[in-house]
Structure 1
Amino acid sequence: MRQWQGKGVLFDLDGTLVDTAGDLHAVLNQLLVQYQRPAVSLEQIIPIGSDGIYPLLDLAFEAPLSAENKQRLRAEFIAIYQQNPPRHSRLFSGIEEVLAAFNEHHIPWGIVTNKPTKLTLPLFAKYQVLKTAKTLVCGDTLGFKKPHPAPMHHARAALNIDQGNNILYVGDAKRDIDAGIRADMHTAIAAWGYIHATVNIQDWGAGHILRAPTELLQLTI
């Protein structure tokens, strides 16, 4: 694998660092019980696990929802999520090893996610290694979310790394790669994440496609 000569690494969260599909599945089905609707399977959740709450609601409620109903259901989903600490989420295999190696080699790293802060912090409470991130940019940190490049620029400034193609951004969704490219960052696809089997990730234009987290060590150290 060709080594990337850079100064820092940024990650997406859901589907890249942490497998959160199990908790999203549990929360969504708890919400469906309240509305006497049939449960959805974990297999249905996984391909859209990185896409936020609204796609989960579209999947679960099937019929077109008004903007008002979507906002109400989103608020109810978040309330259930906050009442239930993450029990089913787990770090993807190899992630803890990679982050520990970055810390050991003084490679600054951080997280840029579209997940709201109040849903992100419980994961930090569960996994101590996430607390060693040099920056955390959530979906509500700024007025913009990925694929807009503003969160990426904000994270770059927090890492105190000059402008230029010297940061690697790793994510499992096209919007991650788009945001990284728009921010003039090097990009890598986390192919272990929530990517539907029918999606051709070759078309995303990323610099690298990584099949396992530990491939990052070959690329960066």
Structure 2
Amino acid sequence: MKPIADLDLVLFDLDGTLVDTAPDLGGAANQVRADLGLPPLADVLYRPVASAGARGLLKVALELTPDHPEFPVRRDAFLAYYRARLTQRSAPFPGIAQMLLAQELRGRRWGVVTNKPSFLTDPLMRELQLYARAACVISADHVPAPKPAPDSINLALQRTGAAAGRTVYVGDDLRDIEAAKAAGMRSIAAGWGYISPGTPIERWGADAIAATVAELGALLS
């Protein structure tokens, strides 16, 4: 893979790209199951939907969809449980810390653009000691429309003063690549993340695919 040149800013999705949050998301879903007297499910069942938020986690945990009358109550319980355990088992993926440090040593800024709400994003980033290092931290509730709309990425460009042509977005979901394209920037698909069933990663239309964090580091070198 040839490195992506002329970059001033690297933007990352959060869940499944920078941080492995699936264990705590699944743990919160299992606490909702426990409220109903149900046994816990294995982490592996939650991983493919970890980027889909409460909707995805509760679908796996309880077969609940947003149109179910119990969904709001279970969603609120899930979010409360998750907020209480944000970094109990969550951590940056292996190699992420070194990769971020390498960007900083090059004088290159990095930031986060996520569909997670800020009341979860900000404390998670702070507890992992990443918040102060990021050039921007943009959550879904900061903009009218979340990814795949480009609103949150455009806000990141506004706040950092970076040009779209000198920025790349890294994410583990098709909507990440769609949002980057809509914002007029290059994109890298993160193959180590929570790749959900559906369109194969090779067909997302990303400018590059990094199967591992090491490959991402090479692309950003």
2:100 corresponds to? 99
Gaps of 5+ in 2: none
| Compared CA separation, residues 56 and 212, structure 1 to 2 (3 A) | same
Structure with higher RCO (Cα < 8 A, 6+ apart): 1
2:169 corresponds to? 169
1:195 Cα deviation (Å)? Answer: 1.0
Could you list the per-position Cα deviations for residues 172-204 of structure 1 after superposition, in whole angstroms to 9, with x for gaps in the alignment?
Answer: 001101101111110001100011477511110
Contact 2:138 2:156 in 1 (8 A): yes
2:38 corresponds to? 37
| 1:220 maps to amino acid | L
Instruction: Please give the secondary structure, in 1, of the residue aligned with 2:162.
Output: coil
TM-score (norm 2): 0.93
User: What CA distance in whole angstroms lies between the structure 1 residues aligned with 2:75 and 2:182?
Assistant: 29
Gaps of 5+ in 1: none
Within 5 Å, give how 1:1-221 maps onto structure 2: 1-5=1-5, 6-62=7-63, 64=65, 66=67, 68-162=69-163, 164-196=164-196, 199-221=199-221
User: What CA distance in whole angstroms lies between the structure 1 residues aligned with 2:101 and 2:69?
Assistant: 44
User: What CA distance in whole angstroms lies between the structure 1 residues aligned with 2:134 and 2:66?
Assistant: 38
User: What CA distance in whole angstroms lies between the structure 1 residues aligned with 2:184 and 2:133?
Assistant: 25
1:74 Cα deviation (Å)? Answer: 1.4
User: What CA distance in whole angstroms lies between the structure 2 residues aligned with 1:175 and 1:167?
Assistant: 17
TM-score (norm 1): 0.93
Name the Cα RMSD after superposition: 1.7
1:216 Cα deviation (Å)? Answer: 2.7
| Compared CA separation, residues 85 and 186, structure 1 to 2 (3 A) | closer
| Compared CA separation, residues 206 and 88, structure 1 to 2 (3 A) | same
Contact 1:86 1:122 in 2 (8 A): no
| 2:59 maps to amino acid | D
Instruction: Please give the secondary structure, in 2, of the residue aligned with 1:4.
Output: coil
1:212 Cα deviation (Å)? Answer: 1.5
Contact 2:65 2:71 in 1 (8 A): no
Q: Percent identity?
A: 35
User: What CA distance in whole angstroms lies between the structure 2 residues aligned with 1:62 and 1:197?
Assistant: 17
Could you list the per-position Cα deviations for residues 10-54 of structure 1 after superposition, in whole angstroms to 9, with x for gaps in the alignment?
Answer: 000000000011101111101111122342221110111111111
Tell which deviates more after alignment, 170-179 or 49-58. Answer: 49-58
Instruction: Please give the secondary structure, in 1, of the residue aligned with 2:141.
Output: coil
